[in-house]
Chains A and B, each alone.
Chain A
């Protein structure tokens, strides 16, 4: 019962932080483009408005899958938020193998958008879903290699122990292999969040929001919220793994988070969209190469 309560609390907290982060993203984007940008409550209004609109299930869609896919993604990202937050607020409560659980649940939201996209029966959504699938195949390999680097360095698959290891020996990002793994993780995060240059799954200018195209009303709100929560959870995950976690207090933790989010937004605003074949080549070529180099360095003790 308490676990369920904590799950709900963590999901709501991640959702609110995610909405604020998305405002920060839009405001920063606006300032980069020399505009004023949206007011602070804008993401909340967007969300509220979508909740109040009609939900349309297309005649060509398979109804159950279409409706449940977004909820499924939302619930999964909530689990990751709960695990990370429990670790941050109550150190020592993590369990062996929670890192593996987090990796699996982080793969769920993109999988849910793929399922939803295919279920909607729209050709553009299918195109988007197939691109998303190729993208997952591309970034998941270097992402897991980067995490394996952290496992080799710390010798554990428990998030709590990774954090306490870093508290004792300095954060992983300060070593050579850790820094390389963090860079790889950062690039994979950009792709996992579906931001430019890896937003070909929902490229508005060519396939009109791709996988999301048929969604409206509360279901679209759930999809957007999943994205925003991923935007909170992914940087927190990288901070926990490579940058010493949140054990050093609220202010340094917040600073780390803001730095990572700002970097994501800057990359997003200064790059053009890649084609899907370019993205796959990029991830399986240089990025995987760097990740393997990080693993070798970690084995040698650097």
Chain B
């Protein structure tokens, strides 16, 4: 595995984007960063600017207002980067399915590397998901 990807997996910086979630997923992400789960053990940091981020964490069903912005933010990120669709809404539209306000799912707008289902997913699920993502990328490269 080349050093770029190796160091990226060792220090994934996360930018959190809400595209119309009910806010519960976002609170669960904050839980994940609290001392109890301590994401910094894995080098995970929440950053304020998409330019710094390696992982785009998208919560919520993609609503019509947010869809173009999500695309724009994805294009603003420095590559290589990964995208995670978070929560039942992010994966499949969840309870917002069929709503007139929803444009699609996260993966209909931007390429998604990992789905973390749940309504909302527990912090353990986030850790498990990211660990899976890292090991699957490692396997693919070998």
Which chain A residues have a beta carbon within 8 Å of chain B's beta carbons?
26, 30, 33-39, 41-42, 45-46, 48-49, 52-56, 204-205, 208-209, 212-217, 220
Complex-state Cα separation, A155 to B113, whole angstroms: 65
Contact B10 A49 (CB under 8 A): yes
Contacts of B47 in A (CB 8 A): 204, 209
Complex-state Cα separation, A208 to B3, whole angstroms: 29
Contact A38 B43 (CB under 8 A): yes
Complex-state Cα separation, A216 to B49, whole angstroms: 10
Within 8 A of A (CB), among B1-60: 3-4, 7-8, 10-11, 35, 38, 40-41, 43, 47-49, 51-52, 54
Contact A49 B7 (CB under 8 A): yes
Contact A35 B38 (CB under 8 A): yes
Residue count of chain B within 8 Å CB distance of chain A: 21
Which chain B residues have a beta carbon within 8 Å of chain A's beta carbons?
3-4, 7-8, 10-11, 35, 38, 40-41, 43, 47-49, 51-52, 54, 76, 78-80
> B30 CB to closest chain A CB, in angstroms?
12
> B65 CB to closest chain A CB, in angstroms?
20
Complex-state Cα separation, A64 to B78, whole angstroms: 19
Contact B35 A220 (CB under 8 A): no
Q: Which residue of B lies closest to A52 (CB)?
A: B4
Partner of B49, one of A36, A41, A49, A208: A208
Contacts of B49 in A (CB 8 A): 208-209, 212-214
